[in-house]
Structure 1
Amino acid sequence: MTETGTVAFDLNDPDVIADPYPHYARLREHASVHHSTAPDLWLLSRYDDVVLALRDATRFSSDPGTGGDFADNPFNPSTSLPGWATRLIDRVLPTRTLLTSDPPEHTRLRKKVSRAFAPRRIAQWEPRIREITESLMDELADRAARGESVDLVRDFASPLPTIVIAELMGIPAARRDDFKRWSDHLIDGLLTGGDTRRMATSAAAISLFFARTVRQRRRHPGEDLVSLLVTPDADGVLGTMDLIVFCVLLLVAGNETTTNLVSNAVHALLDRPAVWQQLIAEPGLAAAAVEETLRYDSPGQGLLRCTTTEVRLHEVVIPAGARVLPLVGSANRDPGRWDAPDEFRLDRNSNDHIAFGVGIHYCIGNALARMEARAALETLARRAPALSRAGHPIRIPSPVLRGFRSLPIRIEP
């Protein structure tokens, strides 16, 4: 546990992970710029400060190398990568990703991949996303009819983005289980009690898979997202390693974000029967429910940055080379920005939330995640109005990934 002034805050405390919001409120009020020594992080909790840090790519760098040695995992120190794995990753994946680069490298990468996520292109996928959602709902209903257990995460919220991303990338249906396993291992290796050896093995397997996929698409391009990325444009082509890293990032980030968004939304709605009934009566409110979930219980609670120079905020000096964690989850509950921020309401204008980041690193896949989540909530409200809990939910053991590993539900005819 660490202290700044009179405020004690432990990022990895199980109580904080279970419900971080009362702890965020204390930080915002008493230590909005908080220095944690274990792990060594500077925490920003107020909306304006978080937005400042995320917009200012000059002073708050996204390059992890700016903050020194990142062999440790600051979010769950007990699962630090062993030295051999860190050295292997440094050798095999020396390139920067969209998440871990600054201009001009970030500008180059962003420009290259943005065409694959153009709004018009993503909008064309809505009918197919709704087909997938209906199919998953059919399977849920069949399981319930057979008297089998139904888990929202395992049977619905997790398969949805996995299938969508696999089809976007032109990956055969037979490899979806591999996709899901690799993605889960990469995420779980960063969590408390996670298996870092399995994480490293899956990282190698998925990198090899995408290396082969990139070579195949260069020889025989199709209509899928990978083919679009390997096609040269006016600025040339992306390197093979850039393409592999982006494909891995898309798979892992896309799966985890959407899965957590859907499960967090259903969890919040089941806690509020009156709001759930609102959605049943008017499924079009699914868009509002998605935005309010993003604000109220964001799938990503923080975005890591490193200072390139000394920064003064509220008379507190953050030194150069410091690791800074702008707490997106706290910013989205700041009473200085929203009225009654701890209430979940569908009549709220939640458009100022920063669940997808802000500035140059604004999530490139936000439209896809929103579309999937809207389809999921509309389908559940229409086909499972008597949805209820069937057991104790299990949260992801992470201070930065907010969601569920299991959310048992009951579906009545």
Structure 2
Amino acid sequence: MTETAAVPASPPISDADPFAAEHLEHPEPLHRRLREAGPVVRLSRYDVHALARYQEVRAALVDWQTFQSGAGVGLADFRHEKPWRPPSLLLEADPPHHDAPRRVLREILAPLALRRLRETWQTVAEEVVETVLAEPGREFDAFEALAKAFPLRVFPDAVGLGPQGREDLLPYGNMAFNAFGPRNALVEADAHRVGDLSARVNARCAREALSEDGFGARIWAAADRGDLTHAQAPLVVRSLLTAGVDTTVHGLAAALYAFATHPQEWQRLRARPELARVAFDEAVRWQSPVQTFFRTATTDVDVAGTRIREGGKILMFLGSANRDPERWPDPDRFDLTRDPSGHVGFGMGIHQCVGQHVARLEAETLLTALARRVGHLELAGEPRRHLNNTLRSWASLPVRIRPAS
């Protein structure tokens, strides 16, 4: 009897549009259907393969040789389409082009550098908390007053940005993360200001726009040493700003939303403030500020019995993987007794977010200051989402607090 090679199976097909408003607003039902359909699902609307289970998402994230980022981590294929901006040297590059920028940033953001920032950030966090405690009725928008206000103050300071231009960072990040999806209404809404907004942010990355003692100056110093080229330096500063602001802001908002809707977990944090860093990671797992990323197959490859052709795009649902019940018991619950390590909210492998420890320190600092002063935290109205093709982001998060007795 002659043995024949197994023929890869045809995956289930879905005509759902993950970038439709209803799925961006409430992604969990679609994620559940995709996970239940199979390890690989073809999205007929975009002719891409979707991975929604933890095992396949994690495997694709770490296998940069098979699933490259250099062709773009969005729907657009940079091998055939001109990028709307110079690609990120971290997010949209693979070795060897990716290596030097990442090595430079890893050294700049080393634990010793972050420890030096802790005391300053603690002081700022206490000032921010004091401000919200003084709000009339102690009701305020936690997205504006906490999740945005704190990172947009401390992180640009650390990078070396002056006070001007910080208001451009979130709009620019919103535009950049929208661009990873299809050219839909969300992308079109910003089309009129792509050039102007990009130019303003790029100007903030120039050497003369940065202080002499921040992360940005150290990136330019690395170029002087030959660790980077001088052409790469402003792109690395830009990558640091994009990655270090949006995901932290929306990750902090996720944590505040989690505590406002889980009062018992807030009391757990107050009793054990050392759980602040775990709380942030659990919030990132639970809400996944970065919901999706694309990769491009570098060769014909079989994934769980499905053949993906060379050049084919895969869409990895990070938010779905982080709620896969095969990986996480009771995954839809925010739970500080859980060990959230291993979540893919910051990616995985060589493209894992290089600034994740900065985000964790910001969150730890602010949540600890809040837990010390705030005895009760609850929603004061209906939160509103801000729709984005890639980010699980927020428009407002009305809360009411009571000071600790």
How high is the TM-score relative to the length of structure 1? 0.85
d(CA) in 1 for partners of 2:160, 2:378: 36
Give 1:148 shift: 8.3
Match for 2:132: what amino acid? Answer: L
| Cα distance in 1 between the residues matched to 2:401 and 2:154 | 24
Please report the RMSD computed on the Cα atoms of aligned residues, expressed in angstroms: 2.6
AA aligned opposite 2:317? L
Counterpart of 2:19 (choices 7, 12, 24) is: 12
Any residues of structure 2 matched to 1:177-196 within 5 Å, and which?
A: 178-188=165-175, 191=178, 192-193=185-186, 194-196=189-191
- The one-letter code sitting in structure 2 at the alignment partner of 1:105 is H
Report the CA distance between 1:406 and its aligned residue: 0.9
CA distance in 2, matches of 1:167, 1:201: 23
Q: Which of 41, 62, 73 is residue 69 of structure 2 equivalent to?
A: 62
In structure 2, the CA distance between the partners of 1:354 and 1:68, relative to structure 1 (3 Å rule), is: closer
CA-to-aligned-CA distance 1:349-368 (integer Å, 9 cap, x gap): 11121211111111111111
The aligned counterpart of 1:334 is 324
Are 2:195 and 1:200 aligned? yes
CA distance in 2, matches of 1:47, 1:203: 35
Assess if the C-alpha contact under 8 Å between 1:182 and 1:202 holds in 2.
Answer: no
- The alpha carbon displacement at 1:287 in A equals 2.1
Q: How far is the alpha carbon of 1:260 from its aligned partner?
A: 0.8
**Structure 2 residues without counterparts, runs of 5 or longer:** 1-9, 179-184
Tell me the equivalent position of 1:101. Answer: 93
Does the 8 Å CA contact 1:67/1:322 hold for their aligned counterparts?
Answer: no
CA contact (8 A) 2:169 2:201 kept: yes
| Aligned pairs (5 A) from 1:258-407 | 258-407=248-397
Farther off after superposition, 116-125 or 22-31: 22-31
Distance 1:240 1:206 in 2: 17
Q: CA shift at 1:19, angstroms?
A: 2.4
Say whether the 8 Å CA contact 1:254–1:365 is kept in structure 2: yes
Distance in 2, matches of 1:233 and 1:9, equals: 46
- Going from structure 1 to structure 2, the CA distance change for 1:381 and 1:141 (only over 3 Å counts) comes to same
Matched, 1:24 2:17: no
For residues 74-103 of structure 1, give each alpha carbon's deviation from its aligned partner in whole angstroms, at most 9, with x where no partner exists. xxxxxxxxx9xx67x45xx3x641000001
The verdict on how the C-alpha distance between 1:150 and 1:69 changes in structure 2, with shifts beyond 3 A counting, is closer
* 1:163 alignment partner AA: R
The residue matched to 1:317 in structure 2 has which SS?
A: strand
- Contact map agreement 2:11 2:306 (CA 8 A) in 1: no
Task: Kindly provide the amino acid, as one letter, of the partner of residue 15 in structure 1.
Answer: E
Other-structure match for 1:168: 158
- From 27, 38, 47, the equivalent of 2:54 is 47
Contact in 2 for aligned 1:230/1:237 (Cα 8 Å): no
Cα distance between partner residues in 1 of 2:147 and 2:89: 26
Identity, in percent, stands at: 30
Q: Is the 8 A contact 2:177 2:390 kept in 1?
A: no
TM-score (norm 2): 0.87
Tell me how far apart the structure 2 counterparts of residues 380 and 203 of structure 1 sit (CA, whole Å): 35
Q: Give matches, 1:76-225, under 5 Å.
A: 89=84, 93=86, 96-142=88-134, 144-145=135-136, 150-172=140-162, 174-175=163-164, 178-188=165-175, 191=178, 192-193=185-186, 194-211=189-206, 214-215=207-208, 222-225=212-215
Give the deviation of 1:331 after TM superposition: 1.2
1:237, distance to aligned residue in structure 2 (A) = 3.9
